Amino acid sequence: MRVLGVDPGLTRCGLGVVDGLPGRRLRLVQVGVATSAADLGTDQRLLLIERRIEEWLEEHAPDTVAVERVFAQHNVSTVMGTAQVAGIAMVAAARRRIPVALHTPSEVKAAVTGSGRAGKQQVQTMVARLLQLEELPRPADAADALALAICHLWRPAGALGAPQRPPSSMTAAQRAWAAAEQAARR
């Protein structure tokens, strides 16, 4: 299965493609960021990001697109831009009839590190280890996109669209992911 992870952002939108299956070795396909200059109008910035997402969808033909679920922040302008980019990614995938999955930051952190409260450095380190990379993926937006793809590939049994597996076959990271998902729903 091939997953395109999208860490939405108006200035830097992380993009990462990973091949894998639950319980199998993961393979990095490509990682990068789509950028837009802050001095452009929002419409032009969104257009630039949308074009890059479209290019990645065309080039990599993912089976699923995993997008970070936008959560409320104190900075309304930041959350608005993030939500707009997330929407663009979802529409681009829907246009191609590619399923979209949304994952919260705590779910992603739990999936790759075992802790829903892991820091950026921990996520980058675990992504590099899981994908057997010689260097940490940078910037953090790129690592987050890869983490989203990994999270989706490793989602526990009972998650939307996930194959059903007995709880005893779940890894510690998958159990932590399930706990973070339940906490996010409360």
Residues catalogued as catalytic: 7, 68, 141
**Separation CA 150–CA 13 (nearest Å):** 17
Reported as half-sphere exposure (CB side, CA atoms, 13 A), residue 160 has a value of: 8
Reported as half-sphere exposure (CB side, CA atoms, 13 A), residue 122 has a value of: 13
DSSP 86: H
Backbone angles phi, psi at 40, to 5 degrees: -85, 160
Tokens 């960021």 sit at which residue?
33
**Under 8 Å between Cβ of 11 and 82:** no
Helical ranges in 27-171 per DSSP H: 42-60, 76-95, 105-113, 120-130, 140-153
Other Cβ atoms within 10 Å of 8 Cβ, number:
28
Please report, in range form, the residues annotated as the binding site for Mg(2+).
7, 68, 141
**Separation CA 48–CA 18 (nearest Å):** 23
Please report, in range form, the residues annotated as the binding site.
7, 68, 141
